[in-house]
Chains A and B, each alone.
Chain A
Amino acid sequence: MAALGRAALLLSLGLVAYALVGGSFAAWKRRRRLALSAQNALLAAFATTLVAAIVLWIALWRRDLSFVYVAQHTSRSLPLGYALSAFWGGQEGSLLLWLLVLTGYSALAVWLNRRSRDLVAWTVPVLGGVGVFFAFMLCFVSSPFDTAAAPADGAGMVPSLQNPYMLAHPPMLYLGYVGLTIPFAFAMGSLLARRSDERWIVATRRWTLTAWTFLGVGQLLGAHWAYVEIGWGGYYAWDPVENAALMPWLVATAFLHSVMIQEKRGMLKVWNVTLVALAFCLSVFGTFLTRSGVISSIHSFSQSPIGGWFLGFLAIVIVFSVGLIYLRLPLLKARTKLESLISREATFLYNNLLLVALALTILWGVVYPLLTQAVNGTTRSVSKPYYDFFLHSFGLPLLLLMGIGPLVAWRRASLRALGKTFAIPAAVAVVTGGALLGAGLGSSLPGLLAYTFSAFVAASIALEFVRGRRATGSITRLVARNRRRYGGYLVHAAVVLLAIGIAGSSAYQTVRERSLQPGQAMQVDGYTLTYESLGTRQLQNAQQTSAVVDLSRGHSHIATLHPGKSWFPVEQSSSNDVSIYHDPRNLGDVYTIADGIAKNGTLDLKVLVKPLVNLVWAAGFVFVFGSLVAMWPDAVEQRRLVERYAALPV
């Protein structure tokens, strides 16, 4: 069966290579049948890659230990769900997942836009080119179908991966990362086809939005997983691999905004193609970071040769994009110019600059160790203080801008009208800030500013809904007729929730550690935690030891927590089992970690009280909802677009 998998991947490689070479020739020499043939090759590549994926899934299902990959990432006692998710638990499988999503997306995107024949004729080879790299890696460098004599049992799955969030996190991320390939390919295709219209933006708008949403949700899932499973009390540690997903997401956010300007005002054409190329490059760079071991990260393993290949591919992509954009600069002349520094266009421009600046400073922080190593031999690295500084410097103005943007009109805003619309949100912000200051929250300036700006943005968004409703009569009609704008406002509301949650749980958290004997208690921020007893129980593939801890406030019992540790005999390692109480009073958590459980029963208990942290997860739901509203098809708009491009033979 492994042979079938290998053969399927070889077929995939052949098909995408044909799409690249045949497709380029067809587009260049304007051969219709060859172009169609290259297009079919791309579609067929999805089918062959799917077959390879199914072969791997069946091998994982059956725990076929003759597959080296299966032996390395599963064991006989591993629950089925996790065994199947081991598909993306290792290097080779995750590359196959990437190729599967890539060919799937490519097939769908090309199929949906098949009527735009000259654009698709050039997009197909670009997609084929990207596919060739991943298919080549899977066939000759890092294959999931290597076989060997089957061992007695597999190595098992690292305990911290045995968690529902880890089932969903990598696929979500990949649906996001790989999704950024589509707008990139269409943008490059449009340039190659020497088109100066916005067809590529119209064709890829929902793709970009979808990929961006998946990437955001994937990161939240990862953060939540780290929070509940790794259990150090936080959800983001500025690890290079975490940053690897954040950077393309920030650039994609900038792109989503600036592309609106190009659609409406015909400006920022060069900026947009550069941004989409940057987003794609960062997503390839991101996956390179995760695999290559070139930057010391807790996620990376020993120096892997695969890094060199990725770097080579990245170099080719950069040279190709920069070269093509440079050659087509005359096509990308703006139709209009920025009229005023106080206009919605300008606020979008500021938002873009801040987002890209933040992404670049994170990139600098990530590659800093490499640069210092190359320059003077010692590896130096930056950590949380560096990232926090720039998150505050760029993130807080971004937050404020989210509230200002909607209040400003297109082209040029009159200061008087601005003053009137600003008045209420500004007043809300000032009052909130004053009240919080009075309540003692001045201990953290960034925290206070985050809360105050959030109040400003929340008021601004609420007013938009109120004013809009007054203008159209009902909320449903308002949203239905202005899906992008109001969907966008909902997404902004989600970001506000996120900002409040992050500020509360980091700037205003309380942390205490004590060693307790059974019967002893500790006080944290008004809560009393009493260590009562120790217990053990047997899980399917682990032995769990946990402490029974009583949580009370004053004299009233609130909950019983069970922080502990689990020992996994097959994998020969232990995992931290944190116990979290979600307090409805402050939407926060009481987070307990059994740092150490001694043989004589002494418990080293670490307690974190994190106010408002549950807003971070709630934000995820609002985020998805807002995104769905924004991308929901609008019949009127669809008709207009069809009419616009219908008369074109291509």
Chain B
Amino acid sequence: MKRSPARLVIALSVAAVLAIFILYTSIAGAGTPQISPSTLGQHHGEDVLLVGTVVGHVAGNAHAGGMRFLLKDDHGTEPARTRVLYSGSVPDLFRTGRQIVVEGTLRDGTFVAKPGSLVTKCPSKYTPAKSNT
């Protein structure tokens, strides 16, 4: 009886998967870092995911000129506040006091967000509130 090629197939497949994997991660980079407002200063100019809680008054219009609000750390008592400028779809659950994640870059003291990247964390289970495209 011929020797079973099954092991060869499996070994080659695993190698192929790893190859695709390594190829992808080396080209596309290794993920986007999640940063909170207190450590954002170290990532000036980088594309990051800013994670925090909305504080203070929300001004402006996300569809005309941009929405402005302040963000603080989710946990802890860091005094750092980041100014965020956001345009695009705003999820229903968004308001002061909610935890959010938004992608963008820190430029000249203001965090300029990628349009449509605002995601509000839901306050209870099973309730998503997204605005991805």
Taking Cβ atoms with an 8 Å cutoff, the residues of A that contact B are 72, 89-91, 94, 158-161, 166, 170, 226, 230, 232-234, 237, 239, 241, 290-291, 296-301, 337-341, 346, 349-350, 353, 357, 361, 368-369, 372, 378-386, 389-390, 393, 511, 513, 515, 565, 573-576, 593, 595-596, 598, 604, 606
Contacts and interface: CB of A to CB of B under 8 A. Distances in A.
Given A158-B122, A298-B120, 17 more contacts: A89-B125, A90-B124, A94-B125, A160-B92, A234-B133, A290-B126, A296-B121, A297-B121, A298-B122, A298-B129, A298-B130, A339-B2, A350-B13, A369-B34, A380-B32, A384-B132, A596-B90
Q: Which of B32, B64, B132 has the most CB of A within 10 A?
A: B132
Contacts of B28: 385-386, 389
B55 interface: no
B89 interface: yes
B121 A380 contact: no
B132 A232 contact: yes
Interface in B66-114: 89-93, 101
Nearest to A358: B17
A383 B130 CA distance: 14
29 contacts: A90-B126, A159-B92, A160-B128, A170-B126, A230-B130, A232-B91, A232-B133, A296-B34, A297-B121, A298-B101, A298-B121, A298-B122, A298-B128, A298-B130, A299-B122, A299-B128, A301-B122, A337-B4, A340-B5, A341-B9, A346-B9, A349-B9, A369-B31, A379-B33, A573-B92, A576-B92, A596-B62, A604-B63, A604-B64
Contacts of A239: 128, 130
Contacts of A290: 125-126
A339 B122 CA distance: 54
B32 A233 contact: no
Contacts of B20: 390, 393
A337 B5 CA distance: 9
Contacts of A515: 63-64
Query: When A and B form their complex, which 3 residue pairs have the shortest distance between CB atoms, in order from nearest?
Result: A380-B31, A337-B4, A604-B63
A301 B121 contact: yes
Interface string B1-45: 110111001100100010011001000101111110000000000
B9 A230 contact: no
B17 to A, nearest CB: 5
A379 B89 CA distance: 25
Given A89-B126, A299-B125, A338-B4, A357 B17 contact: yes
A353 B125 CA distance: 34
B127 A383 contact: no
A550 to B, nearest CB: 21
A398 B28 CA distance: 24
Contact of B24 (A337, A389, A606): A389
A158 B124 contact: yes
Contacts of B17: 357, 361
A338 B5 contact: yes
A380 B90 CA distance: 24
Given A296-B34, A368-B31, A598 B61 contact: yes
A116 to B, nearest CB: 31
A160 B63 contact: no
A300 B121 contact: yes
Contacts of A339: 1-2
B31 A372 contact: yes
Q: Which of A94, A296, A349 has the most CB of B within 10 A?
A: A296
A160 B132 CA distance: 16
B3 to A, nearest CB: 8
B6 A337 contact: yes
A381 B32 contact: yes
Contacts of B54: none
A161 B126 contact: yes
A9 B123 CA distance: 28
B89 to A, nearest CB: 5
Contacts of B90: 595-596
A156 B89 CA distance: 26
A596 B32 contact: no
Contacts of B129: 160, 230, 298
A390 B125 CA distance: 29
Given A170-B126, A573-B93, A237 B61 contact: no
Q: Which of B1, B120, B128 has the most CB of A within 10 A?
A: B128
A510 to B, nearest CB: 12
Given A301-B123, A349-B6, A576-B92, A357 B31 contact: no
A296 B128 contact: no
A161 B17 CA distance: 39
A43 B105 CA distance: 58
Contacts of A94: 125
Contacts of B131: 232
Contacts of B93: 573
A115 to B, nearest CB: 35
A556 to B, nearest CB: 30
A272 B131 CA distance: 40
Nearest to A567: B92
A291 B125 contact: yes
B32 to A, nearest CB: 6
Contacts of B1: 337, 339
Contact of B5 (A233, A341, A384, A390): A341
Given A337-B4, A381-B32, A91 B133 contact: no
Nearest to A93: B125
A346 B6 CA distance: 8
Contacts of A598: 61
Nearest to A170: B126
Contacts of B34: 296, 369, 378-381
Contacts of B119: 298
Given A158-B124, A372-B31, A595 B89 contact: yes
Contacts of B62: 595-596
A381 B51 CA distance: 12
Contacts of B13: 350, 353, 357
A158 B91 CA distance: 14
A393 B27 CA distance: 15
A576 to B, nearest CB: 5
A299 B129 CA distance: 8
B118 to A, nearest CB: 11
